Amino acid sequence: MNDRFASHLRETMAARHLKQVDLVRAAQKAGVKLGKSHVSQYVAGKTVPRTETLNFLAEVLDVDPDWLVGNTEHARRHDAGDRDNGRQPTETSDATIPHTSATSSETASSMPDLPQHSPHDHPSATTTPTNPTSTNQSATNIKPEGATMRRFNKSTKLDNVLYDVRGPVVDEAARMEQAGMHVMKLNIGNPAPFGFRTPDEVVYDMSQQLTETEGYSASKGLFSARKAIMQYAQLKNLPNVGIEDVYTGNGVSELINLCMSALLDNGDEVLIPSPDYPLWTACVNLAGGTAVHYVCDEQSEWYPDIDDMRAKITDRTVAIVLINPNNPTGALYPPEVLQQIVDLAREHQLMIFSDEIYDRLVMDGLKHVSIASMAPDLFCVTFSGLSKSHMIAGYRIGWMVLSGNKSIAKDYIEGINMLTNMRICSNVPAQSIVQTALGGHQSVNDYIVPGGRIYEQRDYIYNALNSIPGVTAVKPKAAFYIFPKLDVEKFNITDDEQFALDLLHDKRILITRGGGFNWHEPDHFRIVYLPRIEVLKDAVDKLTDFLSYYRQ
């Protein structure tokens, strides 16, 4: 059904000369909750809207909702009724787009005005439309006469869950690759495709232990892995940490989801940075909570705006999320900023969740400080792992450490333990190499000093982006991302997803739009600077040429 709905939606939008943003603006005028990312998912065939949203889209597009969703049997009966009443279906696309039963004047009077576009405008998705009458006839034949088929909709809990790091623009890139086009991928922090190799010792140790890791481990993880993580946490000065406070996970992502599910009741609020790593916002919303975004200030090295954070605390706020080093900005927060956040959490009795997955990718001689080390009287959960620092993202090994005043979180910890037990355990072969990875020489250190790949690529992309007219960027201090700003007036940009799609179509470069990180202006995008300098240079040359003529 998803594919048929997406095909019909794209076909109708093209016939009406409408873009995705037109549907969003119509929804805003009508008071309907419909965001850009939702429309993009519909167009890409990722999901089908709920009934009320479907009816709204059908009314805006002046088509039959049953036909739009792919229920052609109902649409045929509807068309027949139109003919009986002396009305002919629309002639566009060989009369395959049926109108609703409302007259044109009724639709025009009840719906918001939509902007007009020239026939040369095109929707962001470029897949060739399919014929809506080509349905699965065997499924139609077994349906009882006159019966309405039950529809299975996604949970309402997913209404505010989006993850554009792997979203509609990535789907379009995949379609282009399937058509034989080469796409330069600067959208995701996955080291392996860019020539970063797992340390030989890590691979060797896993291979030696494979036969010993065929069964489940304890729910929290192998003793050896948790012991090594505990010692690492102690070296980072996390207070009051024992081995029972360490949990391994299939990457940090699984543990974030687990922690939010164990904590939040409907309406509980969690402060999350903007821009953020979007999984945090998604997991809070999925758990029934409300993600409240505090601003990180680009003019102040992307540090959190403490005044904004304070202003957004209410009696429903339960926790503050910190991403340090930050993704997508590459910012590293100094102790004085961390202290202000600790003071705020202490004043309002809030938990602190600190995502520190990039804590071993810090450059310029700077030092990462764990915020939990500054808050022994508060309850903190600190996340880290090996995916980035040891270039083993596919191994899926992360962890979280509970620290500080655990006595105030006993009931919550019981909830964490329950969910930890329910998922049985994390990837055991990956757990087996934690001790090896955290001990001995850290190969990542060779990458983040002058002459090292990440360091040199960081310097190149920072200088190159700032040399493009209309583009500025703050120099990252850690990780391998940069979050440049576009002059929206110069380029007339109102839709950052459309910008990403246009860049993809014109130059075969895939980036992630700023809105994908819950940044609410269309003026930023993220670049992953893991490719070698010659690849980055090619990307910058293409971006420079693109921006020399691009106007949205």
Q: What is the DSSP string of 93-113?
A: HHHTSPPPSS-HHHHHHHS--
For residue 384, is it within any domain? yes
Overall number of domains in the chain = 3
pLDDT digits (tens, 9 = 90+) for 335-346: 999 999 999 999
Residue 142's pLDDT band (cuts 50, 70, 90): low
Tell me which residue of 75, 281, 27 sits closest to 164, measured CA to CA.
281
Q: How far apart are CA 237 and CA 257, in angstroms?
A: 26
Q: Are residues 426 and 454 in the same domain?
A: no
Interaxial angle between packed helices 20-30 and 36-43, expressed in degrees from 0 to 180 and rounded to the nearest 10? 130
For residue 157, is it within any domain? no
Q: Are residues 355 and 273 in the same domain?
A: yes
Least confident of 90-94, 96-100, 353-357, 491-495: 90-94
Residue 1 has pLDDT above 50, yes or no: yes
Residue 32 sits in a domain whose CATH number is 1.10.260.40
Residue 179 sits in a domain whose CATH number is 3.90.1150.10
Q: Are residues 422 and 460 in the same domain?
A: no
Rounded to the nearest 5°, which phi and psi values hold at 253?
-55, -45
Work out the average pLDDT over 342-364: 97
Tell me which of 13, 43, 69 is where a domain ends.
Answer: 69
pLDDT the model gives residue 125: 41
Domain extent for 62: 1-69
Stated pTM of the model: 0.75
Tell me which residue of 313, 314, 320 sits closest to 276, measured CA to CA.
320
Q: How far apart are CA 217 and CA 225, in angstroms?
A: 11
Tell me which of 376, 406, 440 is where a domain ends.
Answer: 440
For residue 118, is it within any domain? no
For residue 117, is it within any domain? no
Helix (H, G, I), strand (E, B) or coil at 510: strand
Work out the average pLDDT over 33-57: 81
Residue 99's pLDDT band (cuts 50, 70, 90): low
Of 113 and 503, more confident: 503
Helix (H, G, I), strand (E, B) or coil at 347: helix
What is 265-305 written as a DSSP string? PTT-EEEEEES--HHHHHHHHHTT-EEEEEEEEGGGTTEE-
Q: Where are the alpha helices (DSSP H) in 167-297?
A: 168-178, 200-209, 223-235, 251-263, 278-286
For residue 77, is it within any domain? no
pLDDT digits (tens, 9 = 90+) for 496-505: 999 999 999 9
Q: Are residues 377 and 467 in the same domain?
A: no
Residue 92 has pLDDT above 60, yes or no: no
Encode burial over 10-25: b for 16+ CB neighbours within 10 A, e otherwise.
Answer: bbbbbbbbbbbbbbbb
pLDDT digits (tens, 9 = 90+) for 418-440: 999 999 999 999 999 999 999 88
Residue 91 has pLDDT above 70, yes or no: no
Q: Are residues 456 and 418 in the same domain?
A: no
Residue 248 has pLDDT above 70, yes or no: yes
pLDDT digits (tens, 9 = 90+) for 529-543: 999 999 999 999 999
Tell me which of 45, 69, 93 is where a domain ends.
Answer: 69
